[in-house]
Every structure is written in structure tokens, then in C-alpha cells.
Homo-oligomer: A and B are copies of this chain.
Amino acid sequence: MRRFEVRTTQRNQFVEITDKVRAAILESGIRDGFCIVYSPHTTAGITINENADPDVVHDMLLWLNREIPQKQSGFRHGEENSDSHIKASLIGSSANIVIDQGDLVLGRWQGVYFCEFDGPRSRQVMVKVVGTQE
């Protein structure tokens, strides 16, 4: 299993980590298999989405922040980051990506994102690579 750090600079932010995941695959020597990209945090997630136009990420965060505001009537959690926990479970704590011929099999417009929902912080990403070195 490989790990790398992501430093976020905003409370809600998508940081593209495709190159770091790719580097972890190359380092593993696995040519055929898949990997699990995993966030060990409860206020962050991992998703795969468009990496061509940054406006896509802008609009995704706009919707998430509008529909899941930080302060809401009835919220009890004292840390005032219940919105972050909700976003984390909706996005999910991991993503699976297939590995073929030693590289990630991503669609043409797909990138891998670490999704920060309670930054800025220093975060860890884990990459578990499973397969054969054939």
C-alpha cells in the first residue's frame, strides 16, 4: 500500500491527484489489476470526474455548498462540520480504477480528485494496488 499527502487550502476544494495515483501504480510494478484510492478521513472523499474545464469543479462545489450548508436548524454536532460529514458520505471515501498494461484505465475526460470538505488541512491518500506483474 502506498500513501501520499495532499495539502488543501480551502474549506471545500477538489484537488486533482491523478498523477500521484499514476505514480503509485508505476512504483508498484503491477501491470494488470486495479487500485483502490482511499481517504482515511471522515470529512473528505474521493471522486472521479472531468479534469478538462475547471468550471465543472466550480459548479459541483457550488451545488454541494448550496444544498448542504454548514449551519442548519437541528444540527447537534459541536464541531460545526456536519455538512462536511454529509458530503463525505455522498461522494464516498474511495474510488476503484482498473489497471491495464501498467497504467490507469480512465476515460478521456476523467481525472481522480481528493475532495476536501473541511479544510484547509494536511490529508493522507492511500492507494492499494492489487494485481499481477505479468
Chain A residues packing against B (C-beta within 8 Å): 1, 33-34, 36, 38-42, 47-50, 53, 55-56, 58-60, 62-64, 67-68, 72, 74-79, 82, 85-86, 88-98, 100, 105-110, 124, 126, 128, 130-131
Contact = CB atoms under 8 A, between A and B. Distances in A.
A130 B59 CA distance: 36
Number of chain copies forming the complex = 3
B48 A107 contact: no
26 contacts: A1-B105, A42-B50, A42-B109, A47-B92, A48-B93, A53-B79, A55-B76, A55-B77, A55-B82, A58-B77, A59-B75, A59-B86, A60-B86, A60-B89, A62-B75, A63-B68, A63-B82, A63-B86, A90-B90, A92-B92, A92-B95, A93-B110, A94-B95, A94-B96, A98-B128, A107-B124
